[in-house]
Amino acid sequence: MAATLHDVALLAKVSIKTVSNVVNGYPYIKDSTKTRVLEAIAALGYQPNLTARGLRLGRTGVIGLAVPELRLSYFAELADAVIRAADRHGIGVQIEQTNGDRDRELALITSARRQLTDGLIFSPLGLGNEDAALLAVGYPLVLLGERIFDAPADHVTMRNVEAAAAATRRLLAAGRTRIAVIGAHEGEVYGSAALRIRGYRDALQEAGLPVDPALIRHSDMWHRANGATTVRGLLETGVPFDAVFGLNDTLALGAIRALQAAGVRVPEDVSVVGFDNLDESEYSHPSLSTIDAGRDEIADTAVRLLLERIAETGPKAPTRRVEADFRLVERESIGPDRNAHHPHNRQDQPA
Amino acid sequence: MAATLHDVALLAKVSIKTVSNVVNGYPYIKDSTKTRVLEAIAALGYQPNLTARGLRLGRTGVIGLAVPELRLSYFAELADAVIRAADRHGIGVQIEQTNGDRDRELALITSARRQLTDGLIFSPLGLGNEDAALLAVGYPLVLLGERIFDAPADHVTMRNVEAAAAATRRLLAAGRTRIAVIGAHEGEVYGSAALRIRGYRDALQEAGLPVDPALIRHSDMWHRANGATTVRGLLETGVPFDAVFGLNDTLALGAIRALQAAGVRVPEDVSVVGFDNLDESEYSHPSLSTIDAGRDEIADTAVRLLLERIAETGPKAPTRRVEADFRLVERESIGPDRNAHHPHNRQDQPA
DNA sequence: TTGTAAGCGTTATCAC
DNA sequence: GTGATAACGCTTACAA
């Protein structure tokens, strides 16, 4: 059906090699033949068969991206950024969803489908640091997130501890001292939850404030419903609090919802801050203060590192680790900064 | 590096064909040879090279999905559902983002990257019905959405008119008579916006109410910010209204935000209803009433139709058109149904 | 029941 | 500058 190099060669009355040379921009071709070939290509609507090229070259021009699930806004926005970055390099992206399930994650990294991609950007959720050795796979791999540190793979991560400390410090600057955290993961040492809580503790200690375990609320899932439920639970305990730090925006948005439903005003009674800077956080009511942990930079970097690995021919460079920059995005939900001498400097004030 | 059929054959002391037979489950193989081959496969960690298989078979086991952008929640949730559906068939999904740009959409359908996929599920936004002929592509194609009707391709769509009429009728049942619509597209005849507005008009006429053009507000983009801006514009005109029908949930959520910021109570002063039933709509404040237009069913059906086309060998079946079912999801933002005799029948009441 | 060999559409090595 | 021709790893007639 589709025209092949062979068909073009026949029509242009040259060899198949010459057509290939033209297609691949080989410089030493007589202008007249080149023109003839180009005409034949146009006439037949020839397009190179990428599968055949992939077989020959050992590269397909497609990378894989494995995330827990796209319905989680963070991963949708991450995938969006990865696809854009890859597209700038002329590379396609095949997406896998793991549901954060360890078995699925394990199956995925050795799946035959990996053969159709030149490398994988992988954001694990079920695997942990103890699984690091399993990630010594035979193809280029870039890890995202905080679940695994010691793997023999490049790693792009965010400054969880520092960013969480910055968020907490800003709550303290708003005059809050009883800051609840929602979304903690029981017994976790690494992982986003644990690291962000470490930053929270750091900031409290730095301010000479105690860390009240009653204010650290668990929630395995980080969906909106969990944020709401967790805050309702907190309200029921009667433990006083004047701020909520949602370990991600989705939790924080759920928290705002539950607070308002309970007649608690945000930020007058309780300040709220999240983490991730989702698109929608700018449009919640009140708009959500949050940490922009560098999602787009992470996507760009992950794609760049992966493509570098794929292009690598000789000895492998040592594995690299990159931390993206973060910034605090101040919006309505946090309340004024009492230490601020220049309130007009505040960012991201919605109209 | 990776083991091939050849390596396995060597180790098992059989021909390459026999190994292939084992791998593909060919039944007539002596048990002893089969065991030997299986052992060799395990010993070498052999995995079939899917690129080579794809070249030989003309099928890659991957389908493409082209959507405007994943950061739009609707498309993230759609992509999630498509990936799940494809995965149930052992098929991978490569995602392309068009940004709703006509040129990108055009480039995409003829891109060489199509060669790497067995077919495409395409949700156009820039192309219109006048481009239908361009969709006579040489590979299996399933269209989504309302932009193109006359294309020579299978088509999975939602019942926009009927669903929008149902939403409008429910607003009327809440005692609303001045129902604003936000998200209209100037001059559009087909397309989701036009169809949903047609449903809106139908319901009003059915109720003997006039259609006030001043209540139909345009917004090309359907982001949250547009919903907010459009409602602010409406408030500024001073035109009275007691309900807002957002042509999608994102617009409706932005609208709620703008109404609240202006001191308008939802649903006491103004009822709001959206369209799409995003995950997050259940957790807004107030929770958003909306239309579930059958997103998951659409994904499942699209994948099924596409795989049927891919499997097609002989003459092509005529193009098919499928409309997914819809349902009205009643939540807080709409206010009570004055006609309802059985209020306890209302669905989806959040806790 | 198993083996041989052709060929899918490329790219790459060499001659010419 | 250009042309044969051999892989890449697989499936599949056709033989044996």
- Render pLDDT for B71-83 as a digit per residue (tens, 0 to 9): 999 999 999 999 9
Residue B225 DSSP label: H
Strand C, nucleotides < 7 Å from a protein CB: these are: 1-5, 7-13
Q: Is B90 left (phi over 0), alpha (psi -120 to 50) or beta?
A: left
CATH class of the domain whose range is B1-42: mainly alpha
With CA atoms as reference, report the closest residue to A264 among A351, A350, A348, A180. A180
B77 neighbourhood in chain A, CB within 8 Å: 70-71
Q: How far does A287 lie from chain B, in Å, by closest CA?
A: 9
- 3-state secondary structure (DSSP) of residue B202: helix
Report the percent of chain A where pLDDT is more than 70: 97
pTM reported for the whole predicted model: 0.93
User: Is residue B333's pLDDT more than 90?
Assistant: yes
pLDDT tens sequence across A10-53:
888 888 888 888 888 877 888 888 888 888 899 999 999 999 99
d(CA A245, CA B91): 40
Interchain contact, A116 vs B61, CB within 8 Å = yes
Q: Where are the domains of chain B?
A: 1-42, 62-156+294-325, 160-293+328-350
Span A318-342, average pLDDT = 91
Q: Strand pairing of A141-144 and A120-122?
A: parallel
Domain at B160-293+328-350, CATH class: alpha beta
DSSP state of B284: S
pLDDT at A119 over 80: yes
Per-residue pLDDT at B349: 44
Q: What is the mean pLDDT of residues A62-78?
A: 96
For A41-62, write each residue's pLDDT tens digit. 999 999 999 999 999 999 999 9
**Could you give the C-alpha distances from A312 to A142, A153, A321, B121, in angstroms and in order?**
14, 14, 17, 34
A122 vs B146, higher pLDDT? A122
Q: What Å distances lie between residue B161 and A135, A230, B147, B168, B223, CA to CA? A: 51, 40, 14, 11, 22
CATH code that applies to domain A62-156+294-325: 3.40.50.2300
Give the distance, in angstroms, between residue B138 CA and nucleotide C9 C1'. Answer: 18
Helix (H, G, I), strand (E, B) or coil at A104: helix
A160 pLDDT exceeds 70? yes
Contact A257 B283 (CB under 8 A): yes
Closest-CA distance of chain A to residue B296, Å: 12
Residues of B in Cβ contact (< 8 Å) with A224? 279-280, 282-283
Distance B25 CA to D4 C1' (A): 39
Q: pLDDT averaged over chain B?
A: 92
Q: Using the beta-carbon criterion (under 8 Å), do B112 and A285 form an inter-chain contact? A: no
Q: How confident is the model at residue A344, as a pLDDT?
A: 47
Q: How far is the CA of B34 from the C1' of C4 (A)?
A: 20
Inter-chain contact B92–A71, Cβ cutoff 8 Å? no
Instruction: Collect all residues of chain A within an 8 Å Cβ-Cβ radius of residue B83.
Output: 70, 95-97
> Mean pLDDT across the stretch A285-296?
95
Confidence of residue A149 (pLDDT cuts 50, 70, 90): confident
Separation between the CA of A77 and the C1’ of C4 (whole angstroms): 53
Band of pLDDT at residue A313, cut at 50, 70 and 90: confident
The pLDDT confidence band at residue B33, using thresholds 50, 70 and 90, is: confident
User: Could you give the percent of chain A with pLDDT greater than 90?
Assistant: 72
Please state, in angstroms and rounded to a whole number, the distance separating the CA atoms of residues B57 and A299. Answer: 34
Band the pLDDT of B1: cuts 50, 70, 90. Answer: low
Angstrom CA distances, B222 to B124, B215, B351, stand at 15, 17, 29
Residues in chain B within 8 Å Cβ distance of A97? 80, 83-84, 87
